[in-house]
Amino acid sequence: MSFFTSTSRPEHISTARSWAALVCLSVLQFFIAVDVTVVNVALPSIGDDFGVDPRGLTWVVVGYTITGGGLLMLGGRLGDVFGRRRLLLIGTAIFGAASMMAGFAETFAVLVAARLFQGVGEALALPAAMATIVLLFPEGRARTRALSVWAAVASCGLVLGFVLSGIITEHLGWRWVFLIAVPFILFVLIATVILLPGDRKQERAPLDILGSILLTGAPLLFAFGIVEAGEGMSWLPVAALTGAFVAAILFVGVERRAPNPVIPLAFFRNRTRVRANLATALLSAALSTSFLLFTFYLQNGLGHSPLEAGLLLLPLAMALIVAVTVVPRLMGRWGARSCIIAGLSFAGAGMIVIGVAAQLDAPAWVLIPAMLFIAAGMGFGLVGLQYAAVTGVTDDDAGVASGVQRAADQLGGSAGVTVFVGLGFASIAHGVSPYLLSSGLAIIGLCVAAFVARRVAVSDEHTTEQGVNTEA
């Protein structure tokens, strides 16, 4: 899969047209990023409408990220085989249709299904959009600027999702959290047809469809098993968890024999990459858990409205913007490993504050230090881990390395919400503060991540050399 395939820009595409295409694709990137966080503040309202508890509401979050992360590698490969423009249109159309489906959902099951399809759309469209940008801009300053814009839009989408969710849910209702994206998605579809040239004939190569299905099915079965286990042991969660284990084993077997595997197993011979991606998954698990705990505590615990909750999360949003701006510059001085450890420590401190604040029924302002710690944890930790995960890549495996890192981020976040929040708010944990239990589980995960990260071997002298790329 070639996320960062380096080929020349089509000669018949003008610079102005390339930047117009970037604007179009950035709109898509913004709403894909927004949909990761925008549902958080709306979750209590969704739960009230459908009569679903916080444990069940985790599916609204994980359904999107599991399918998106699990099919991401396949999406990139499909773009290489069938044409990126074609996959971009198909993925964007699926994302838009799923957004409408979510907005008009009459049952909770339909809403979850819509979120799954949104993830499918993301997995098809995002790699194709990324590859298109790389191909439209020549290597050097122009490409760096384009990728910087692309990354900045993604960061803004993640951050603004919290605030937008509160405003939209309060004044229009939670359904418009999904419906508001539809006209913009239509704009992207029309602009893509007009601005981007048709696909050239692609060399057909075998696709690892079975491997991709297993890569997505394993975490889905795992999530279902954990959520159902929260209601007490029965045959259903046992069967789901067994199925997840079997799917994982089969995935390894399929990848060994596949002529063109979605993730070559040889890729994992590099221990630094393996450790970095494992730590990424554990850190993302804690960060995703913190986002949900902030939302649940502000609305369900303290009784704030969605708008008030969104505004109260502004310190988190502003701190995230500062973190993703400052940290890449600091990494050249501190080194990747120091940034990673600092990020994990900050995230752990944030989880402690959340658990203690909820246990003491503290007012909202007590959560501000937690928000600052979580933002710093995200900035320092994920930037450092992203660098470590792609250390030593070549032209042959750069795309795979980038795809695996993003998949680890998304699937780790999904697993965290499923395990930490699912078990924390489960009925079998009655008598224990759900916020304290969820925070405690996340802290354990961060401790494991810190142990793993200490053994990440990254040459700090290369960190400075890669500073521009990391910042972009």
Number of domain units in the chain: 3
Range of the domain at 134: 1-203
Cα 311 from Cα 322, distance rounded (Å): 18
Instruction: Provide the 10 A C-beta neighbour count for residue 394.
Output: 7
Q: Is the pLDDT of residue 348 over 90?
A: yes
216 and 119 in contact (C-beta within 8 Å)? Answer: no
Q: What percent of the chain has pLDDT over 70?
A: 83
Instruction: Provide the 10 A C-beta neighbour count for residue 178.
Output: 26
pLDDT digits (tens, 9 = 90+) for 137-189: 776 677 767 766 776 777 677 767 777 888 888 888 889 989 998 999 999 99
pLDDT digits (tens, 9 = 90+) for 242-254: 888 898 888 888 8
Q: Are residues 354 and 449 in the same domain?
A: yes
Q: Are residues 191 and 228 in the same domain?
A: no
Which residues, 6+ apart, have CB-to-CB distance to 269 below 8 Å? none
Which residues, 6+ apart, have CB-to-CB distance to 334 below 8 Å? 342
Q: Are residues 236 and 280 in the same domain?
A: no
Q: Are residues 91 and 165 in the same domain?
A: yes
Cα 465 from Cα 360, distance rounded (Å): 47
DSSP string, 221-241: HHHHHHHHHTT---HHHHHHH
Which residues, 6+ apart, have CB-to-CB distance to 431 below 8 Å? none
**Span 308-334, average pLDDT:** 78
284 and 409 in contact (C-beta within 8 Å)? Answer: yes
Q: Are residues 358 and 345 in the same domain?
A: yes
Q: Are residues 423 and 362 in the same domain?
A: yes
> Which residue from 133, 161, 122 is spatially nearest to 291, judged by alpha carbons?
161
pLDDT digits (tens, 9 = 90+) for 63-72: 888 888 778 7
Cα 186 from Cα 161, distance rounded (Å): 20
For 402-411, give one letter per residue: b (16+ CB within 10 A) or e. Answer: bbbbbbbbbb
Q: Are residues 238 and 367 in the same domain?
A: no
Q: Are residues 255 and 267 in the same domain?
A: no
Which residues, 6+ apart, have CB-to-CB distance to 9 below 8 Å? 18, 135, 136, 137, 138
Q: Are residues 240 and 272 in the same domain?
A: no
Q: Is the pLDDT of residue 458 over 90?
A: no
pLDDT digits (tens, 9 = 90+) for 245-297: 898 888 888 878 877 777 777 777 778 888 888 898 899 889 888 888 888 88
Q: Is residue 74 classed as helix, strand or coil in its secondary structure? A: helix
Q: Are residues 436 and 464 in the same domain?
A: yes
- pTM for the predicted model, two decimal places: 0.76
Q: Are residues 144 and 20 in the same domain?
A: yes
CATH assignment at residue 48: 1.20.1250.20
Q: In 335-421, where does DSSP find H-type helix?
A: 336-359, 368-377, 383-389, 398-416
Q: Is the pLDDT of residue 12 over 60?
A: no
Q: Looking at residue 182, what is its pLDDT?
A: 92
pLDDT digits (tens, 9 = 90+) for 72-102: 777 777 777 777 888 889 999 999 999 999 9
